[in-house]
Chains A and B, each alone.
Chain A
Amino acid sequence: EAGVVQSPRYKIIEKKQPVAFWCNPISGHNTLYWYRQNLGQGPELLIRYENEEAVDDSQLPKDRFSAERLKGVDSTLKIQPAELGDSAVYLCATGTSGVGGQFFGPGTRLTVL
């Protein structure tokens, strides 16, 4: 079974530029999460989707971050414009409605110069 796929794996951009990350979930996983992991810290939730609906986006900085999950499958997370403090690893995770835990992708490491 294929795992969660994310791309790109690494991205280096200059501040004020836009950037987008893509996530393809495990087949059949209706719940999708985007996390941000700063260096030396645990992941922090940005947004959670149930199918195509964003049901928890309270931690998403909406002035510059946006996300979508068209058709309830793939998802994209966008930052426009990026700031120096956005440098982090952005993780996508997917799961089902049970308590089996979440399955994480390898993440996208973003460096903003």
Chain B
Amino acid sequence: GDSVTQMEGPVTLSEEAFLTINCTYTATGYPSLFWYVQYPGEGLQLLLKATKADDKGSNKGFEATYRKETTSFHLEKGSVQVSDSAVYFCALSERYNAGNMLTFGGGTRLMVKP
């Protein structure tokens, strides 16, 4: 079955540091890929997405590129802020699934210190 694997956290960085959160996936078809963010006490918010190979999703300074050859969708940001502290979830949705059911990774907690 489909699965998503993320690097375990917490990831602790100083403000303005470079961020990478690794995400790899296994899928039987050709999935769409997503990053969701969950701020403390809030629900999940869609951060960015990519629907085909080599697509780059971007939002709020975050980027991720759909790499089919390495089955990866790593999240990056050039300069993190304290306000980026949250839990980040990588997810996939198979195209054949008309309901677009999401399969999530376990989440990676990011802590940014001033």
Q: Check A42–B105 contact: CB distance below 8 A.
A: yes
Residue A25 CB within 8 A of the other chain: no
Determine the chain B residues whose CB is within 8 A of the CB of A56 once the complex forms.
99, 101
Question: Whole-angstrom distance from the CB of A1 to the nearest CB of chain B?
Answer: 14
Residue B61 CB within 8 A of the other chain: no
Question: Whole-angstrom distance from the CB of B4 to the nearest CB of chain A?
Answer: 8
Q: What is the CA–CA distance of A107 and B42 in the complex, to the nearest angstrom?
A: 8
Q: Check A41–B42 contact: CB distance below 8 A.
A: no
Residue B82 CB within 8 A of the other chain: no
Q: What is the CA–CA distance of A98 and B98 in the complex, to the nearest angstrom?
A: 8
Residue B51 CB within 8 A of the other chain: yes
Q: Check B93–A43 contact: CB distance below 8 A.
A: no
Closest to A59 in B: B101
Over the window 34-65 of chain A, the binary record of Cβ atoms lying under 8 Å from chain B Cβ atoms (1 yes, 0 no) is 00000011111100101000011000000000
Q: What is the CA–CA distance of A60 and B37 in the complex, to the nearest angstrom?
A: 25
Q: Check A101–B34 contact: CB distance below 8 A.
A: yes
Band of interface residues on A: 20 to 34
Q: Check B51–A99 contact: CB distance below 8 A.
A: yes
- Given the known interface contacts A4-B43, A42-B89, A91-B43, the answer about A101 and B99 at a Cβ–Cβ threshold of 8 Å is no
Question: Whole-angstrom distance from the CB of A65 to the nearest CB of chain B?
Answer: 18
Q: What is the CA–CA distance of A103 and B43 in the complex, to the nearest angstrom?
A: 9
Which chain B residues (1-17) contact chain A, with CB distance < 8 Å?
4
Question: Whole-angstrom distance from the CB of A57 to the nearest CB of chain B?
Answer: 12
Of A45, A48, A93, A101, the most chain B CB neighbours within 10 A belong to A101
Residue A21 CB within 8 A of the other chain: no
Task: List the interface of chain A (C-beta within 8 A of B).
Answer: 4, 6, 31, 33, 40-45, 48, 50, 55-56, 91, 93, 95, 97-107
Task: List the interface of chain B (C-beta within 8 A of A).
Answer: 4, 32, 34, 36, 41-46, 49, 51, 89, 91, 93, 95, 98-102, 104-107
